[in-house]
Amino acid sequence: MAQPQTDIAIIGAGPQALTLVTHVLQKKEKLRDRLQVFDPSGTWLTQWRQQFGAQEIAELRSPAVHHPDPNPHALRTFAEGRYEELHHPYDRPGTRLFQEFCDTVVQRWQLQDQVVPATVTRLEPWQQRPARFRLTLSTGDTVLARRVVLATGGGVPCLPDWVQQITASHPPARLCHASQIRLPALSSLAGETVLIVGSGLTSGHLAIGAVKRGAKVVMMARRTFREKLFDAEPGWLGPKYLKGFHAEPDMQTRWQMVQQARNGGSLTPAVMTQLRKLERQGHITFYEHCQVAAAYWQGDVWTVCCDTHAAHDCIAHQPIHRIWLATGTTLDVRSHPLLTDVFAQYPIETVNGLPVLDEHLRWPGCELFLMGPWAALHVGPVARNLFGGKLACDRIVPALTKTSLSFAQG
């Protein structure tokens, strides 16, 4: 029996995948019946909604002009009569407003039934002539695709070294990476002290959620907690900085530019204001330029030692009930489970875990395109953001809609 075939297979149904589909259809409507989106949820933006819900995030960090619709003004138009849900500055949308807007985008572009409810468990180059990929699905089915776009966030939780040294068994809920925490599932933390490690926006959301549930919070970071409206300067959203970035031929230098621009984590002014208020009320303590050296589970609490305990009486005397690690993720395209077979057949250059792609964000040698954080060496420091999705589309869409740019044509 012949295997089902599709022209374009998109893995993932998050904001970047939705952005890609609307931009492809705007350029070439007849591709509608020739593309398939694969996501375990079977619906758009499910994981994104779950992540925002898990951390009780009330508003986006991106301006109102950044969203999945090709018309940059569409969100502001949708928000008529709801302007209080656009937050100063740059009219950053509230989470509910953004979600409801995305629902209308899905409806307007008639994409409700475009997502196949399945996880892609394997991706392998399948035939040379004509070139195809074979996607194995969690349902056991397989699909052949001419072109594939990987539009998943990816990355594995980054755990500090001291976590590996913990030998005593402890309840899993007492030491969690931020990606495992669901604030709505925690009814009360009254009487508990929660240590949150990390200085990015996630640490702020978790701290506010913990205090709301009655906890005392200790926020610890290797650096100073910094306030920034965006995670990279606004100049990275246009030619001001990107021109120089794209002119840089050395990928190692580009990688350093991305790291410097993001510069670890930062907190938005709105979240920082809330945290400082909670600090004044005695709910939060900040430990800066300080990191955990070791943690021991004793009885039903953690004893935590910091690396500068000789310099100041830090945390060792405080019983810590939970440790939450807002320590981000590590990206390494070489260990991405879906890319093993592709790597074997088409080995490519990588820089600190990021792939070196062609100008269309295509994997050299085949018709596989990468979006999101994987495209950072080409799109820049905002690769994983909503606007990064738009910048990625500017490169990928021409290659998907113009036959002259397909790899087979050279």
Provide CB contacts within 8 A for 48, sequence distance 6+. 14, 15
- DSSP-assigned states of every residue in 332-394: -GGG-GGGHHHHHHS---EETTEE---TTSBPTTSSEEE-GGGGHHHH-TTTTSHHHHHHHHH
Q: For residue range 330-369, what is the model confidence (pLDDT) as tens digits?
A: 999 999 999 999 999 999 999 999 999 999 999 999 999 9
pLDDT in tens, the chain (410 residues): 568 999 999 999 999 999 999 999 999 999 999 999 999 999 999 999 999 999 999 999 999 999 999 999 999 999 999 999 999 989 999 999 999 999 999 999 999 999 999 999 999 999 877 899 999 999 999 999 999 999 998 789 999 999 999 998 999 999 999 999 999 999 999 999 999 999 999 999 999 999 999 999 999 999 999 999 998 998 998 899 999 999 999 999 999 999 999 888 899 999 999 999 999 999 999 999 999 999 999 999 999 999 876 655 678 889 999 999 999 999 999 999 999 999 999 999 999 999 999 999 999 999 999 999 999 999 999 999 999 999 999 999 999 999 777 754 43
Q: What is the pLDDT of residue 409?
A: 42
Q: What is the pLDDT of residue 310?
A: 62
Q: For residue range 130-142, what is the model confidence (pLDDT) as tens digits?
A: 899 999 999 999 9
Q: What is the pLDDT of residue 309?
A: 64
Torsion of CA 167, 170, 174, 175, to 10 degrees: 30
Prediction pTM value: 0.95
Q: Are 377 and 355 in contact (CB under 8 A)?
A: yes
Angle between helices 386-401 and 15-27 (to 10 degrees): 40
Nearest residue to 390 via CA among 357, 354, 361, 365: 361
C-alpha–C-alpha distance, residues 299 and 309, integer Å: 23
Q: What is the pLDDT of residue 33?
A: 95
Residue 267 DSSP symbol: B
Percent of the chain with pLDDT over 90: 89
Q: How many CB atoms lie within 10 A of CB 321?
A: 17
Domains and CATH numbers, the chain: 5-155+331-409 (3.50.50.60), 157-228+266-328 (3.50.50.60)
Q: What is the pLDDT of residue 410?
A: 36
